[in-house]
Amino acid sequence: MADGLTDASSAKPAEEANNAEMIPASIEDVIHTGADFNLNRIRKSVFEALLQSRNRYGGKKIAVVDADGRELSYNDLIKASFALGHALKQGTQPGDSVGILLPTGVGAIIAFFAISAYGRVPAMLNFTAGDKALKSACKASKTKRIVTAHRFIELGELDALESELSKDHELIYLEDVRENLSTMDKVAAAGGMVAPWAVRAWPSPDAPAVYLFTSGTEGEPKGVVLSHANLLANVEQVRDHVPIYDNDVVFNPLPTFHCFGLTGGVLVPLGLGVKSVCHPTPLQAKTIVKRIAETEATILFATDTFLNQYARAADGADLQSLRMAVCGAERVKDETRASLQKRFDLDIVEGYGLTEAAPVLAVNQPENNKPGTVGQLMPGCSAKLVPVPGIEEGGQLHIKGPNIMKGYIRSTAPLELEAPEEGWHDTGDIVTIDNEGFLRIRGRVKRFAKLGGEMVSLAVVENCATALWTDDMHAAATLPDKRKGEQIILLTTYKKAERVDFVSFAKNHGVTELAIPKKIIVVDEIPVLGTGKTNYGQVQRMAEEAMAVSSAPAPAPAE
């Protein structure tokens, strides 16, 4: 293929082949389609879109605010991108991948556009994933060079990771590049400001624009290949679907290695001409709520986990400027929604996304917000539900649209593209869609336990625990059971958790007895990924270890 990817879509991996066994031979007809979408708006590169935003909103308009309060205009971003990109392209070819290992901030944004400006492909690397996952990601995308920063390595205490990556990759530090910009780099920047068409690359809108990587909780991380058209389609879908105004200010603490942080926190604000305030980590709750107040942010991107932390750290004035909090990546709890509304008069707009959809697939609207759902499909998207044996309500969601990825890449077959079959991507989620088109997520297929022939959602188990012990975190896992096939184990941080209380709650609220965990294990913390999602891979290992200890025979008494 012209973009450097080999099409390997005909070779399905074993795990997907197993899933395919439960899909009927005759897929159902499309059951719902979003609003109309004009594809002509996305036939360009992401860097060309940035240049058009500058022309539309003005080069001097402030586009991004960094963690230290430094403000950059559209002109600043473009000039820095041309200069840095000219320096970074040395020794690479158009279409080559260049890794970015940086926190959310101006450095990461400039690096992204710098690499893109000259036709290379940014590979956004998750610095919380560990060296094995990062090496796998680099292998899948054939990434040899990684852009990072000395200060980031120092503050993040990532010396060990740096040492491990440097064995097989060339690490390029932003501080060193800035200090050694050549005359030609500066000429390229000046020329790009006057005649960008003569300096920048002209990749196909369908060429890869970024490589992102799944969390790897269900195995080795997969690379997700998103084209320029995929990313820009999602920007335009958000423009059509969600009311965002010229005077809005977006606060983005989510990592740019996560698609929500990249598209929602960077590309959408730049594309719509609204200021974006960056914060390098979502974990600094006290600092974040103060910065929201200082910058008078009106839109907050977050997850339920992080939003709860911000609410606890805030006083009445800290979140007063916000008009909505857009939440994704995990289900928004009823308690979170009620608490934010009562304390701060703040509405939560819940959405549903996945990296493979660039990422926003559905989202509620402030004026059309149905709590408990993730809203309606984005314009241009279609959805169909495939029946799953044992699950009576809803089906396995398959999606299609201009924002759906080109395909997967894996370390076992670098840059060999596994494209969605006929454009349809299987999300692996069980979903219902009501007569108004609102989606309700019931859980992932892999997160259903099969007990005595019936399917039980682990999300229901967690929801019951959350309703019962509201101020703590909970996660459910499954283990083999000789009698019922599987058993449910609940991990919780609530120190006084008792199974008898869970049983009573289930009976009083009409919850099936099958959803009552066989054992409840108290832990110090529930592991969370850098994106805010529960790390279910680690949860599973914790459950297995805890049950192995509890079932081990007691030591023989000393004679």
CATH number, domain of 58, equals 3.40.50.12780
Residue 316 inside a domain? The answer is no
Is the distance from CB of 491 to CB of 521 less than 8 angstroms? yes
Residue 185 inside a domain? The answer is yes
Higher pLDDT, 388 or 233: 233
Q: How many domains does the chain have?
A: 2
User: Percent of the chain having pLDDT more than 70?
Assistant: 89
Residue 340 inside a domain? The answer is no
Please determine, for residue 456, whether its predicted confidence score (pLDDT) is greater than 60: yes
Same domain, 193 and 173: yes
Same domain, 368 and 511: no
Q: Angle, nearest 10°, between helix axes 106-117 and 74-88?
A: 60
Out of 376, 411, 441, a domain closes at: 441
Same domain, 175 and 212: yes
Please determine, for residue 13, whether its predicted confidence score (pLDDT) is greater than 90: no
Higher pLDDT, 85 or 30: 85
Out of 420, 441, 462, a domain closes at: 441
pLDDT tens per residue, range 183-209: 999 999 999 999 999 999 999 999 999
Residue 245 inside a domain? The answer is yes
pLDDT tens per residue, range 223-245: 999 999 999 999 999 999 999 99
CA-to-CA dists, residue 308 to 180, 251, 330, 336, angstroms: 44, 16, 13, 6
Same domain, 522 and 376: no
Look at residue 360 in the predicted model and tell me its pLDDT. Answer: 95
Concatenating the DSSP letter of every residue in 343-386 gives: HH---EEEEEE-GGGSSEEEE-BTTB--TTS--EEPTT-EEEEE
Is the distance from CB of 398 to CB of 383 less than 8 angstroms? yes
Report the range of poorest mean pLDDT among 200-214, 244-258, 484-498. 484-498
Look at residue 477 in the predicted model and tell me its pLDDT. Answer: 82
Look at residue 16 in the predicted model and tell me its pLDDT. Answer: 39
Q: What is the mean pLDDT of the chain?
A: 86
Q: Angle, nearest 10°, between helix axes 304-313 and 285-295?
A: 80
pLDDT tens per residue, range 94-140: 999 999 999 999 999 999 999 999 999 999 999 988 889 999 999 99
Higher pLDDT, 8 or 284: 284
CATH number, domain of 456, equals 3.30.300.30
Residue 295 inside a domain? The answer is no
Look at residue 30 in the predicted model and tell me its pLDDT. Answer: 60
pLDDT tens per residue, range 332-377: 888 888 888 888 888 899 999 999 999 999 999 988 999 889 999 9
pLDDT band per the 50, 70, 90 thresholds, residue 29: low
Look at residue 293 in the predicted model and tell me its pLDDT. Answer: 94
Same domain, 259 and 213: yes
pLDDT tens per residue, range 64-77: 999 999 999 999 99
Residue 456 domain boundaries: 452-549
Look at residue 558 in the predicted model and tell me its pLDDT. Answer: 55
Q: Give first-to-last CA distance, the chain, whole Å.
A: 74
Please determine, for residue 296, whether its predicted confidence score (pLDDT) is greater than 70: yes
Same domain, 23 and 56: yes
Mean pLDDT of 521-546: 79
Look at residue 531 in the predicted model and tell me its pLDDT. Answer: 58
Out of 408, 441, 474, a domain closes at: 441
Please determine, for residue 18, whether its predicted confidence score (pLDDT) is greater than 60: no
- The strand pair at 97-100 and 145-148 is best described as parallel
Same domain, 384 and 459: no
Residue 330 inside a domain? The answer is no
Same domain, 499 and 392: no
Mean pLDDT of 32-37: 81
Same domain, 120 and 197: yes
pLDDT band per the 50, 70, 90 thresholds, residue 454: low
Residue 299 inside a domain? The answer is no
Instruction: Tokens for 318, please give them.
Output: 């800290």
Mean pLDDT of 21-44: 68
Same domain, 431 and 478: no
Same domain, 78 and 185: yes
Look at residue 24 in the predicted model and tell me its pLDDT. Answer: 37
The edge-to-edge listing of strands for the beta sheet with 71-73 is 71-73, 62-65, 275-278, 249-252, 299-302, 324-327, 348-353, 360-363, 376-377
Same domain, 154 and 210: yes
